[in-house]
A and B are shown apart, each in its own frame.
Chain A
């Protein structure tokens, strides 16, 4: 059996007294797209952020390419991994945020090139060259010198994707990448993501875009109240008779079909 890109087993996560993830087990396969869907507050973002250890979890395993993320195990004892170890693990996990999180004091190309210089040890010239190539790929080479404030939301999000891609991650995490966008700008971002998927990038995508999930996902996991209620191929969106998923989709259609 081939190795899973991401393997999550019996994951538990709480904020204070509230358990936001309970006993979540899930895998993401290499070169496949996994979509996480579910109502607001169901724990999708939290689950995604556990994968690159932006959130600490209390119990269970999160493994990327077979390696436990954020913790080190020695003789059955578990302790926090060193900062350097964690940074090395995060380098191969790209992340795209709902709010873009571009750094406002750097131009588009600066945003993409700076991590290459600081983290990958590129020279300035190498970093600019790579950054420009990746911006070209998301269709924004012409905007390389623009500051984020002068870009539309869709353009900003594409720069953010380029920033993550330039690091040559083995895996990309997307947390509702189109939710902060005006409707007419959603398409350009989804298009970039589809292209990425067709090139064989492994992707885990939290999304409210059911059209994208149905069309691009290889697997869909439906979360509700911190549990995976159903997980399967995209046609569960049409065929499932799981009542909570049906109700979720019902609400979604009512909201989107006027």
Chain B
């Protein structure tokens, strides 16, 4: 469940993050929207955001499963961080590259498609994988709304076995292994691209 929720969170988060980033380049209103979006989701504790969302849906009488709500929340938050990461990378690409493209007769769309986006995605990989491990750990918080992910399951086992140390250490071990797998994957991918 932990893996499932985290992965879905990324799948929802990355495209929304790119959308948020692009919205930010579309005029004043777009910039304002992106600014508020990013600032809200980065400025409010994740736990509070989850609680807000979980109480918001019943409040507007909108009925979806707890899991779907959790995925939505994690996705929206991830999007905010993803768009910031991409924006940072975008700024790190020297403006000379766009200028060179313009001088060669590339249009704005072609510049984005062939020059900027491929670099941005490649350069962002380490930060994105890092974000993914954070998301993995954040997913522990959805245990508070009763979803049976790793932390919740271990809590339940502790409640019946009264062996908190062993159970929680095993849970921690599983989280650590998953984080390491993600970080290693990110590193390998980075190296793979660096070699070309």
A and B in contact, CB less than 8 Å: no
